[in-house]
Structure 1
Amino acid sequence: MKSINAIQKGCDLHTHTQASDGMNEPTENVRLAYEKGLFAVAITDHDTVSGVQEAMEAGVKYGVKVIPGVEISTMTGGIDIHILGYFVDANNPEFLNRLANLRNTRNERNGKIIANLQKLWIPITMEEVISGLERELKPDESIGRPHIADTLVRKGFATDMRDAFDRYLAQGAPAYAPQPRISPQEACQWIREAGGTAVLAHPGLYGDDKLVRSILEQAQLSGIEVFHSDHNQEDELRYLTLAEEFKLIVTAGSDYHGERQGVVFHGDLGDKRVPEEVLEQLESARGRF
């Protein structure tokens, strides 16, 4: 694969919007992609495709190709695993129903996290979290831990987003609450049945390459996100080797969520990108393994 820095245009295959835990409206992500010279951008919100239509319309306006995507939350081996889906049918009724069920369990988990925080004598409510959005919450949008972390920072219980996660919200932290989740295999099946292509997101964040290998052996993935804002060069080399071994499409994404408290999280839009040929590979793999 070409060096990320050598790709003058390219596509950022991992961005989030207000439809889940990003800070920007979908149109803004597309506008930023245009300003940064990208020819394409993927909208991959957590367990929802509600931002895709607006982004597609903005893509026509700005002349930027928009990849309809999603990032599905799964679990295996007690670890949260994220599966990216590309070129999914954002109007598929069965797929939309499945994602809605995932968001319902996420809402239940949010309530448990709030309760755990209150047990730690941190006076925080879900109403405060939602009001912190400073806009009306749409029915198919997804509230997640970053929104709770943002509230903790605003109320002075954490210095920044990273501190909020490390101190309270990350797996193993005192306010963390497990969430019933589907397996990576099931998420891949959902994506394929919605006409899409399944890719393992940011394997370096799981801290367990044996588990990553097990997922690649079992989940029937078509690709792996080798280049990610939180991967170092050593990570990239390891996952390039795995991609070659398992004959997987090599992808890249910034995991852009916008700016919170003056910090861009995880990386700036367009920092990680793939050439057009990778999009062609992903599109040709749609709905099959």
Structure 2
Amino acid sequence: MNHLEGRCDLHTHTRASDGMQSPAENVRLAYEKGLSAVAITDHDTVAGIPEALEEGERCGVAVVPGVEISTRAGGQDIHVLGYYVNYQDEAFLKRLADLRNTREERNGKMIAKLQEMGVNITLDEVIAGLGRELKADESVGRPHMADVLVNKGYAQDMRDAFNRYLGEDAPAYVTVPRISPEEACEWIREAGGTPVLAHPGIYADDDLVREILEQAKPAGIEVFHSDHGKAEEERYQAMADEYGLMVTAGSDYHGARQGVVFHGDIGSRSVPVSVLAQLKRCAEAD
């Protein structure tokens, strides 16, 4: 028996946002790893879900339709995952389109900052680097900028590009107005889904995490994530118990750039498929 049978990875990205693989390829990778289920959770878009569902039917992997919504709280970018959203809901799709417009505004301002720093890079180059036409419901992210920075010799690899230019504490980073985690949770619920706070350890501010849990009231928390060590897992497991939250896990797989998988490989973080029933029940209850 494959050691991942009966397990699910609830956080993966595709080319619909800033991943490297198509939605179908993510599902096939999940199948090859022996996973029983995988979630497609692209940034501010649900464009990859239909293709993933079709491939899941073909190869026998349950696909969880999801999204990762960009929000802002406590001076930080906070991400909220949504599971079993109605990815055809017109009101939800309009809201996601507005978020992608905000992302485009940020991208333009970051490119301008890079140019002011003497970094010769354009948004056209970033889009061209995709190697395909950017669809209306897809989005460009910082990893795409990082690819160009590496290819042009301004950074050694993805992590170096973020540390030197693109990360929240780096000189080219730009903050734009975003919705709150509370609004994101409301949007997800209104679209028939279940909201979960993504990778709390990345925020390095447990007081803020508690504030978000108390105000936004997500149904779950991503305890197991590729950037969480054992101490973070234990801490957020205890927090989940304290607040009565579902515990989820995700690799946050984006594919490999410059030979390095970012953040982790599909299946590297997983929970039992029984969690899916909890996520569905919560969505139906709302």
Normalised by the length of structure 2, the TM-score is 0.98
Offset of residue 288 of structure 1: 4.7
Query: In 2, are the aligned partners of 1:197 and 1:288 still within 8 Å (CA)?
Result: no
What aligned pairs does 1:255-266 form with structure 2 within 5 A after superposition? 255-266=252-263
Deviation string, structure 1 residues 104-148 (Cα, Å, up to 9, x no partner): 010011000000000000010001001111111111101111111
RMSD: 1.1
Structure 1: runs of 5 or more not aligned: none
Partner of 2:224: 227
Question: Take 1:286 and 1:61, find their aligned partners in 2: how far apart are those partners?
Answer: 26
3-state SS of paired residue (1:48): coil
The runs of 4+ residues in structure 1 deviating greater than 6 Å are none
Aligned length: 285
Question: Take 2:264 and 2:276, find their aligned partners in 1: how far apart are those partners?
Answer: 21
Question: Take 2:4 and 2:223, find their aligned partners in 1: how far apart are those partners?
Answer: 15
Query: Is it true that 1:25 corresponds to 2:22 in the alignment?
Result: yes
Identity %: 66
Normalised by the length of structure 1, the TM-score is 0.97
Query: Is it true that 1:275 corresponds to 2:272 in the alignment?
Result: yes
3-state SS of paired residue (1:286): helix
Partner of 2:84: 87
3-state SS of paired residue (1:241): helix
Question: Take 1:252 and 1:39, find their aligned partners in 2: how far apart are those partners?
Answer: 14
Equivalent of 1:286 in 275, 283, 286: 283
Query: Is it true that 1:208 corresponds to 2:205 in the alignment?
Result: yes
Deviation string, structure 1 residues 142-175 (Cα, Å, up to 9, x no partner): 1111111111011100001011001111112110
Partner of 1:78: 75
Partner of 2:49: 52
Structure 2: runs of 5 or more not aligned: none
Question: Take 2:160 and 2:27, find their aligned partners in 1: how far apart are those partners?
Answer: 30
What aligned pairs does 1:1-289 form with structure 2 within 5 A after superposition? 8-286=5-283, 288=285
Query: In 2, are the aligned partners of 1:223 and 1:249 still within 8 Å (CA)?
Result: yes
Query: In 1, are the aligned partners of 2:4 and 2:36 still within 8 Å (CA)?
Result: no
